[in-house]
Each structure stands twice: as structure tokens, then as C-alpha cells.
Amino acid sequence: MAKSNGHRGDTGEPEDTMELPLLELPGTHTCNDCGECCTYLAVEIDHPTSFEDIEHVFWYLTHRDVSVYIDWEGDWFIEFRTVCEHVTDEKTCGIYEERPKICSDFSWNECERTTRERAWKYHFEKPDQYFDWLREKQPARYDKYTKARRKQLEKRRAQQTEEAEPPAAAEGDVQAGA
């Protein structure tokens, strides 16, 4: 399980969590010298079905340190690899009592490091990985998307050519300097 904004159907009730000391963790505790769950954030996104949705995933994946994954329940998430400002040098929370609710709801005994299970079923770090997955798993949607994309590129190229070419002189126009 990854630290994410969860599922839309959640009740908002906190799961069982273990309250950890602010700065000192027992050396044997799983969280000791880890801090992994404070190095990213994941936000649930709509399942990409339309041309626009797929273009959005394409756009997300053109960014460094941004990935998209599908979890074991089939829900989609965008993940940003970015370290929280409040992680201490000891890899603990510097604002433990005031930390956001999502942090206090996150249970260390369900995290990937403890369970040794990946949070995701499919993980995309580059557009090609996503498009390969789409072609294999949703071929009809992939075909529809690629056709629409081809049309979009043709239109874009035509517009660029039009902009690059000077307007044709109308019949009867007087040449400058004539």
C-alpha cells in the first residue's frame, strides 16, 4: 500500500495506526532510518478512457519524477517523487503532532516495506510504457486513440505549414516599389 489520497469511496475513518515517537524510534522498528513514505505523494485519478484522458496521462509521463500506476484494485494514481519538507535528517517527521491527517492515517504495518508487496500492479514511468500497456490490454481503445492522435498531428502540421507560408498575393496587387 502506498501513501495516497485513497479511494473516492473511503469513509475517511482512520485505519489502525501505531503512534510512533516524534524523533526517536527503536532501532529495531521497521520505520527506523526509512522515511520512504515521506518521499512521494500519490493522488487518485480517473480511469483514462477518452482521448483527452489518455493525452493527460501522456502529458503526466513527459515530466521527470512523475509516474502513473494502477493498483491491485484497478484504481489509477499519479505519483510525484518529491520529498516532504518536514522529514528530519533522522528520517522522522519534524511536525509529528501537526502532521496532515493522511500521514497519521497511514499505517506502517500496511506499507510496502513491511508487507513486501508492491502497491501497484502496473507502473508507468515513461509514455512508451503506458502506450505499450494500452496496446496490449485495451487494443480497441489504443486504435481509436492512435487514429485521433494521427488526425490531431496532421491538423497541427497543416496549421504550421499555413503559418510558415506567406499569404499569396491577390490578383491585381501592386508590387511594393513598382
Site size for ligand SF4 (CB under 6 A): 19
Backbone angles phi, psi at 120, to 5 degrees: -120, 150
Spatial distance between the Cα atoms of 65 and 19, rounded to a whole number of angstroms? 30
Residue 87, classed as helix, strand or coil, is strand
Binding positions for ligand SF4, 107-136, rule CB under 6 A: 108, 111, 113-114
Residue type, 95: I
Q: Which of 95, 152, 153, 160 binds ligand SF4 (CB under 6 A)?
A: 95
Q: Which of 35, 66, 144, 146 binds ligand SF4 (CB under 6 A)?
A: 35
| Shortest Å, Cβ 37 to ligand SF4 | 3
Spatial distance between the Cα atoms of 4 and 1, rounded to a whole number of angstroms? 9
**DSSP structural state of residue 63:** S
Q: Does 25 bind ligand SF4 (CB under 6 A)?
A: no
Binding site for ligand SF4 (CB under 6 A): 30-31, 34-38, 84, 86-87, 93, 95, 99-100, 103, 108, 111, 113-114
